[in-house]
Amino acid sequence: MNGIKLQGQIESFDQFVILLKNTVSQMVYKHAISTVVPSRPVSHHSGNAGTGSAGSSYHHGGQAASQPTQGSDDAE
């Protein structure tokens, strides 16, 4: 992996960006991210189908580390 490693909790996201919160909040364009690694194991529950809000433009998430591609100026 090359580039800058960002760590934090995904505070929200939309179609184009992820808002990553650690000591400060950073907005990172999705197209600049090459790898996302969860900080803890992810459980896949089959009971979550249909619980999403299709009309909402922002979503709230959990912790992750993202790896923007090298040369991206979106990670600063």
Q: What pLDDT is attached to residue 66? A: 59
Q: What pLDDT is attached to residue 76? A: 46
Q: Residues 26, 11: contact at Cβ < 8 Å?
A: no
Residue 24 CA to residue 47 CA, distance in Å, equals 34
Residue 7 CA to residue 60 CA, distance in Å, equals 16
**Which 8-state DSSP code applies to residue 14?**
-
Q: What pLDDT is attached to residue 64? A: 59
pTM of the model: 0.55
Domains of the chain (ranges plus CATH)? 1-41+61-69 (2.30.30.100)
As averages over each run of 10 residues, the pLDDT of the chain (76 residues) reads: 87 96 95 91 73 53 59 48
Q: What pLDDT is attached to residue 21? A: 95
Q: Is 71 left (phi over 0), alpha (psi -120 to 50) or beta?
A: left
Q: What pLDDT is attached to residue 2? A: 72
Q: What pLDDT is attached to residue 74? A: 47
